[in-house]
Structure 1
Amino acid sequence: MRKVGEKIAESTNLDTVTSAKECLDVIELSYKHLPDYLKPCLLYFASFQEDEKISFTNLAWLWTIEGFIPNTVVAESLLNDLIGRSLIMVSKKRSIGGVRTCHIHDVLHDFCVTKAKEEKFMQLASNGKTDFSSSFYENRRLCIDRSLYWAERIGNLQVRQFIPEIKRSDPSEVLRNQRLYGINAIMDIEPFKPRVSLTNKQADYMIKMANRLRKLKCQCKEPLKLRLDALQLETLSVNDVLLPQSVMSNIGRLPNLVVLKLEHRAFQQEKWDIEDEEFLTLKVLKLRSLKITTWNASDESLPNLEQLLVENCFHLQEIPSVVGEILTLKMIEVKRCGESLENSVRQIQEEQEGYGNEVLKVLIYPLDSST
């Protein structure tokens, strides 16, 4: 089987395929030799757009909720299997290893769309291009392309997974659509992780309806005035939200927060104080293009931090020295910041080396660096 897989991988290099028929034959052969548990994972790529960069995290959740895999832990090995067979390509890797985003070749995407329809695995719908014959309702899944137009045409659709493009719609209108039976239940499960730009009114409504939201990216048109501490967030990205110190303290008490990204006008003040027992579960902290000048942290904050990334924070004078004492810290990366901040990081590095710390990796890219 391995030899067959290697032969297929070589053949799917489109430069060596002399005809469209030969190309499809090779892909068909590749699909035929896939283990049964991998076939639905591959066909599910039909639900994405051609050339779309697909988040591995989102893909893992979708595979799980569809029942293809028992949990997200096994998703990476299955995706790597598809990559090893040259059926899926890596778009971007994570800094700590693994796949961040992936994509599928347009020819393979066309194959998945056709095969999904043939096997009644999935029906793809786009405005004005779908035949609502009896065969339409025989499909196990319906992929709606960007529009809620279909919600008014397909009657009592029972939705297992619904991720609208909220940037193009009013979230309250999406959630009030009574045709989407079960949408409230969907809002209460972990895989619903929209990336949205929100006003306070929209965000308030979303958070009330999605109190088990795991991942949230906010870019507000006005200062953020939300009770985010009521959520069970694991990943939070905030951009242009003008957070007061009180809200930052509430965020610091989120019990499951692992990744926090603060960008541009994330703060109202020029000073950030992290108090005792804040950000107890945080592992990754990214600060980018912030206006703050001072950052203080207590000895009992950030006890599980593994990565600190600081980029384009020209006004920030230094990294708190206590950060270097965090036992779990593996990396500090500084890009295009001021000399004072760079010196504070070098001092942390020297102190840790003096203590025999060989784990901490420090990367500094000066202002004149093109990296």
Structure 2
Amino acid sequence: MVDSVFENLEYFQDFLENTSKRREDCGKIEELEREIRSVVNEAEDAIELEIYEINKLEKGNAREVLCETLSLLVEKIDDMKRNVMGSSIGTNEVQGYSNPTNEDLQTGYVAKLNPENVVVGLEDDLMRIIRRLKGSMSTREIIPILGMGGIGKTTLAKMAYDDPQIRNRFDVHVWVTISQEYQTRDLLLGVLTCIFNEIKEGTDNELMDMIYNKKLSIFNKIKQGTDNELMDMIYKKLMGRRYLVVMDDIWSNDVWDLMSRTFPDNDNGSRIILTSRLKGVAMHADPDTPPHEVSLLNADDSWKLLHETVFGVGHVCPPELEDIGKKVAQKCQGLPLALLVVAGHLSKLERTQESWKDVAKSVSKVVAKESDKCLGVLAMSYHYLPNHLKPCFLYMGIFPEDSDVNIEKLINLWVCEGFLWEELVGRDFLEDLVSRNLIMVRNRRFNGEWKSCGVHDLVRDIILREAEKEKFLQVTKDPSAKMHHARCYSFHSNIQNDLLESSSIGLTRTMHFFRGLGSKQVPLLVCFKLLRVLSVVQYGFEDFPLVITKLVHLRYLQLRSCDDPHGLLSELYNLQVFIVGSLGYNPPTIHETIWQMKHLRHLKVSHSISLPKNPSNNLQNLEGLSCLRLSSCTFELFSAIPNLKTLKLRGRQNEGQGEKMFEHLNSLACLKRLEQLKIRCKELYLFPIPCMYTLPTSLRSLTLSYTFLPWEDMANIVKLPKLEVLKIKNYGFYGDVWRLNDGEIFNQLKFLLIRTNDLKQWKAGSVNFPMLQRLVLRTCIYLEEIPKDFGEIYTLESIELYHCRRTAANSVNEIQEEQESMGNDCLSVLIDDCR
């Protein structure tokens, strides 16, 4: 019976993935998708409820109850499958084509262009596009314009399309809007109409007369041809002519492949501009050239656009409204479409401080109320998503407005929710959502890797609207609000006693409390038997809440407590991520039952902990551990967690020194998959003399803080063959001279940070750091100069100095000047507060 259910679920998944690419029958598809989801959710609920109850029954009784439940589910799911297979959605119906009007023929039978001539903030973009249009390249060139919905892609393309120099440069101009709901035949007819309206020489005069005198009759003749015949007609009409084609709002590779081969490469400088929200489409069209990405407006340009739209170009805003207006502009977060909608609303109001302040308090509500089109433009990106990405995207609504969401945490939540199976797949999903301009990368690491992300406020409004419609998520800001039927809940305010009681507990899988959970509400959690994710971000509990140990389906648990995590926590046999913050002064004690939690992937504790000795099992799935006490590092311990990838260690005073500490570091060598290691030993002088010890050769990132290692110990670190990031913070190394000989080479090191130490002289050369890209020095107040040979490191992109000596800053300036004199202007130098 389980195999039957699983087979049907695979069928449903394939069906939904295929129908999500269809552009017709959207309403029917959405309705059918909801019916499928309802049946599947019901099956999931029933099975997991039986699993929850199974410990209360004898084995035979449990099997009998589960079989009875499954038999009913199999029958219901089989009925659903028969309904899907019998539906007409899977058929390839061709919709009829209606005759265009005279007006359509005159205007080129394309979608109406946006009348807004928004030039604010796009001046530099326009110059770059025009430069590429006028470039000397004779072959046909593709110019993709990329950006999120409402950011001004179409406006930018229209400005370039209408520029007088560009109009005179090309023989034929074609504008065709693709959008999601396109018909190939409509596109081909639209292109032909544009061509016929412009070509007026040679053999086309007779055809032009026919078009203008008998438009409908000639168009009826043209439409009798097949798609291939229309494509051939376009190809022949453009052959030998220099043309400019704009393909606006393109969503798929297929339509690009179809249309692009319709346009000949005459080797005469023809150009094709395409606009898209999807990076994949842009890169598919031209994999060799990065697309032109339109950015959100900065604060000054946002205010300028709002000001000019409300008051007109050259008119002055009343002084008493300027500050409020700038706040309104700022809340639009640089999206031109939102600014235009809000500006239109302001234009209808009295120009008083009170009326403008009301708008400043509710910008997103104004946008939603004033223009369904605005939210509709953004919602198109959501509706075009493949089904496997939709829950990942909607999950961004969990977090408070304007949140910088840690990417590692987000992906772990996706895995625990069951949206995907492993973290590596999560990064692929995130890249897909970023490339579709739905999620924005907020912070990056030195090498460009993503650290945190977020969404535009208007995109978040779309998320909340769609999530509520799909009963996926309810966000509660009002303490007195009632909970509706939803799979996920996110509480952004303190909750009242009866709030949890009003919920439909059978559906709930996720609960995030961003303002804490009161002790009176804790007992109610036992009702949420199917909970997978429980996160209590702020405040905490006096005693560890034992009721949580009853929630056997929990996969993600985050809380803070004055008490130690209880030994019964091992009852949560599904738990994958456990994040606990200690509210006490002493580090929490981890119970020996931790070794029974075989699915645990990440354990994060705010204080340094010692894991119980004599492991009873291996935690093969544990990949992240923070923070472990340095003195507890042993071969025996690490042999029980062999697949650890990230590890944070803390050293404490009076934990011993000398050979014992070397043993602790040597024990790390058995962690063959460890990639990131951080060691912090506050006020602990570990190594008075240099010693030899072995670190894992798999390390890619190493951070040392307050370890007071002698610089001679760097001989142990230089041996790490994969090390790319080295951060030496707060006397990680101790001594006034760091000397490297020619044989000490950091072969893969790309980023080096040195902060707060007593280093005076640094003796090294380019040979020691052949791959270094970025060097950062902070509060190195004794260091006299940077090694002069560093200018010869051809990979070096930047040197940054903060709060260092003036002599060190001068040495960096000399390196930069020397490189510029040799024609190398790639080295960036940043110097701040160096005296």
TM category (shorter chain) comes to 0.7 to 0.9
**Superposition deviation, residue 245 in structure 1:** 2.5
In 2, distance between residues paired with 1:159 and 1:248?
39
In 2, distance between residues paired with 1:157 and 1:220?
34
**Deviation string for 1:4-55 (max 9, x for gaps)?**
9559x868x9623169999xxx799686664323234335558878876433
Secondary structure in structure 2 of the residue aligned to 1:308: strand
Distance 1:212 1:343, change over 3 A: same
1:282·1:304 contact (CA, 8 Å) conserved in 2?
A: yes
- Is the deviation greater in 319-328 or in 223-232? 223-232
- 1:97-116 maps to which residues of 2 (within 5 A)? 99-103=450-454, 111=474, 115-116=487-488
1:124·1:144 contact (CA, 8 Å) conserved in 2?
A: no
Distance 1:153 1:70, change over 3 A: closer
In 1, distance between residues paired with 2:808 and 2:383?
57
Partner of 2:555: 142
**Deviation string for 1:189-248 (max 9, x for gaps)?**
878535564449799499478553322333212235695622522222222221223432
**Superposition deviation, residue 341 in structure 1:** 0.7
In 1, distance between residues paired with 2:433 and 2:694?
33
Distance 1:208 1:44, change over 3 A: farther
In 1, distance between residues paired with 2:488 and 2:674?
30
Secondary structure in structure 1 of the residue aligned to 2:831: strand
Secondary structure in structure 1 of the residue aligned to 2:452: strand
Distance 1:294 1:150, change over 3 A: same
In 2, distance between residues paired with 1:3 and 1:321?
43
Secondary structure in structure 2 of the residue aligned to 1:42: helix
Amino acid at match of 1:77: E
Amino acid at match of 2:365: V
**Is residue 284 of structure 1 aligned with residue 638 of structure 2?**
no
2:669·2:697 contact (CA, 8 Å) conserved in 1?
A: no
Partner of 1:216: 677
In 1, distance between residues paired with 2:595 and 2:699?
27
- 1:1-371 maps to which residues of 2 (within 5 A)? 6=150, 15-17=363-365, 34-42=385-393, 45=396, 53-56=404-407, 59=410, 66-67=420-421, 71=425, 74=428, 77-81=431-435, 84-85=437-438, 91-93=442-444, 99-103=450-454, 111=474, 115-116=487-488, 122=510, 128=522, 130-131=525-526, 134-136=529-531, 142-146=555-559, 149=565, 152-153=568-569, 155=571, 157-162=573-578, 173=590, 177-183=594-600, 184-185=619-620, 186-187=622-623, 192-193=645-646, 197-199=650-652, 204=664, 207=668, 211-221=672-682, 222-224=684-686, 227=693, 229-230=695-696, 232-275=698-741, 276-367=743-834
In 1, distance between residues paired with 2:751 and 2:148?
41
- Is the deviation greater in 258-267 or in 110-119? 110-119
2:766·2:791 contact (CA, 8 Å) conserved in 1?
A: no
In 2, distance between residues paired with 1:263 and 1:238?
6
In 1, distance between residues paired with 2:818 and 2:650?
42
In 2, distance between residues paired with 1:51 and 1:196?
32
**Superposition deviation, residue 322 in structure 1:** 2.2
**Superposition deviation, residue 319 in structure 1:** 0.9
Give the structure with the higher percent helix.
Answer: 2
1:239·1:266 contact (CA, 8 Å) conserved in 2?
A: yes
In 2, distance between residues paired with 1:180 and 1:142?
11
**Deviation string for 1:96-154 (max 9, x for gaps)?**
65753234679879747954368766466978362255434799762211357477256
Secondary structure in structure 2 of the residue aligned to 1:249: helix
1:41·1:68 contact (CA, 8 Å) conserved in 2?
A: no
Distance 1:116 1:240, change over 3 A: same
**Superposition deviation, residue 301 in structure 1:** 1.3
Distance 1:285 1:103, change over 3 A: same
Higher alpha-carbon Rg: 2
Distance 1:208 1:64, change over 3 A: farther
Scaled by the length of structure 1, what TM-score is found?
A: 0.73
In 2, distance between residues paired with 1:174 and 1:238?
29
1:124·1:142 contact (CA, 8 Å) conserved in 2?
A: no
Amino acid at match of 2:598: Y
1:314·1:336 contact (CA, 8 Å) conserved in 2?
A: yes
**Superposition deviation, residue 162 in structure 1:** 4.8
In 2, distance between residues paired with 1:302 and 1:4?
40
In 2, distance between residues paired with 1:216 and 1:62?
23
Distance 1:170 1:98, change over 3 A: same
The count of residues paired between Structure 1 and Structure 2 equals 361
1:120·1:139 contact (CA, 8 Å) conserved in 2?
A: no
Amino acid at match of 2:405: I
Gaps of 5+ in 1: none
Alignment identity in percent?
Answer: 25
Asked which structure has the greater RCO (Cα within 8 Å, sep 6+), the reply is 1
Amino acid at match of 1:223: Y
In 1, distance between residues paired with 2:793 and 2:596?
51
Distance 1:280 1:162, change over 3 A: farther
- Is the deviation greater in 262-271 or in 165-174? 165-174
Q: What RMSD, in angstroms, separates the aligned Cα atoms of the two structures?
A: 4.9
- Is the deviation greater in 348-357 or in 116-125? 116-125
Distance 1:190 1:5, change over 3 A: farther
Scaled by the length of structure 2, what TM-score is found?
A: 0.36
Distance 1:75 1:308, change over 3 A: farther
**Superposition deviation, residue 292 in structure 1:** 0.7
Gaps of 5+ in 2: 1-22, 24-145, 152-334, 343-361, 465-472, 477-485, 490-505, 533-550, 601-618, 624-640
In 1, distance between residues paired with 2:415 and 2:528?
30
Distance 1:190 1:143, change over 3 A: same
Amino acid at match of 1:178: W
In 2, distance between residues paired with 1:153 and 1:326?
53
- Is the deviation greater in 206-215 or in 33-42? 206-215
Amino acid at match of 1:158: N
Amino acid at match of 1:345: V
